Amino acid sequence: MKRFLFIFILFSLLGCDYFETKKLSSDDIVQEEIKHIDWENLDTYPTFDSCDSFSSSSDKIKCFENEVSKHIFEVLAQHQVQLKDSVEEEILLKVKISSTGKPSLDDFSLSDDLNRQIPELEEWLEEAVQSLPKIYPAEKRGIPVSSDFKLPLIIKSE
């Protein structure tokens, strides 16, 4: 009986480590959660009021891109241009939408020929992007975040 009591006490003292709960700090929990967040993809993409009727994410993205393209072409169509030579060039516009929904033209490059023939094009593109209608920013986990997207623009004349 003494042996049984001795073994019981020994296991009780040594076995307490197995019953101990490990306390995690809130910093540890946050750091662990951050490791599992997919930072490459957004939960919702930027959108306009006119795109709210679409239910799927891919349809909303297409709607957003179409609305931006349509608006840029409408602004560019207001300007009359006389070209000396025919032009066929693709420009890749990089547009940034801030976490407040403010659009800005982040980057693009024009060829020397296009820049020579239409020197105002850069100013017109800036004007077109700045005058976009109200944009609802992208979201990640319910928080508005900034986002970038690329939009090809084809300039063609004969």
State phi, psi for 103 to the nearest 5 degrees. Answer: -85, 150
Judge contact between 54 and 63, C-beta under 8 A: yes
Strand partners, 149: 95
pTM above 0.85, yes or no: no
* pLDDT single digits (tens) 1-13: 666 666 666 666 6
Give the span between the Cα atoms of 94 and 73, in whole angstroms. Answer: 16
Q: Which helix (H) or strand (E) holds 28?
A: helix 26-35
pLDDT score of 63: 92
For the chain, which residues make up each domain, given as ranges?
Answer: 49-157
SS3 148: strand
Handedness of CA 28, 33, 38, 41 (dihedral sign): negative
